[in-house]
Amino acid sequence: MQVEYTISIGATPEEIWAALTKPRFTRKWWGTEFQTDWNVGSTMTWISQGVVIEDADQVVLAYEPAKELSYAWHTMTEAMSTRNGISQEIQQVISKEPRSRVTYTLRRREALAALTVLHDGFDDESTVLALVREGWPPLLENLRNLLEGGSE
């Protein structure tokens, strides 16, 4: 199972790329930053509003500047669930689900750029899928607003 979203943004693929990979931008539109060297196979530490998530399986899967970025989704930790108001019961369910992955694909569209986000690797009955399905649209709107000069 998967979710896929495509948005047009009034920015270049290079500007969007920076917003996806540079902590000074990711903190603004997502409230999250990544500590990694962005080499394929390298681990990623997620820092999300004070919650640090480290796991050997959180890795960069693809890195082609201004074209494609893919990584393993963060570990569903108890601290992250608590911060997001997720019950202990739901935390127990989501902590047992397989790790998913996110892939961003960028392409030019005249004065705009198209960003496609594919989040896949979910089981049919995935609780995490339901959570990210609700989470991606506002995040992508934050990203667009940041890059087009609005407010995030």
From the options 1.10.3720.10, 1.10.1740.10, 3.30.530.20, 1.10.8.60, give the CATH code of 2-147. 3.30.530.20
pLDDT in tens, 97-109: 999 999 999 999 8
Q: Which residue has the higher pLDDT, 43 or 110?
A: 43
Distance of CA 152 to the CA centre of its chain: 16
Per-residue pLDDT at 126 exceeds 70:
yes
Nearest CA to 1 out of 104, 102, 121 is that of: 121
pLDDT in tens, 40-61: 999 999 999 889 999 999 999 9
Other beta carbons within 10 Å of 60:
19
What does the DSSP 8-state code read for residue 31? Answer: S
Under the banding of pLDDT at 50, 70 and 90, the label for residue 151 is low
Under the banding of pLDDT at 50, 70 and 90, the label for residue 150 is low
Could you tell me if 55 and 71 are in contact, meaning their C-beta atoms sit under 8 angstroms apart?
no
The whole-number pLDDT of residue 83 equals 84
pTM (2 d.p.): 0.93
Q: Provide mean pLDDT across the span 127-141.
A: 94
Domain ranges, ordered by start, for the chain: 2-147
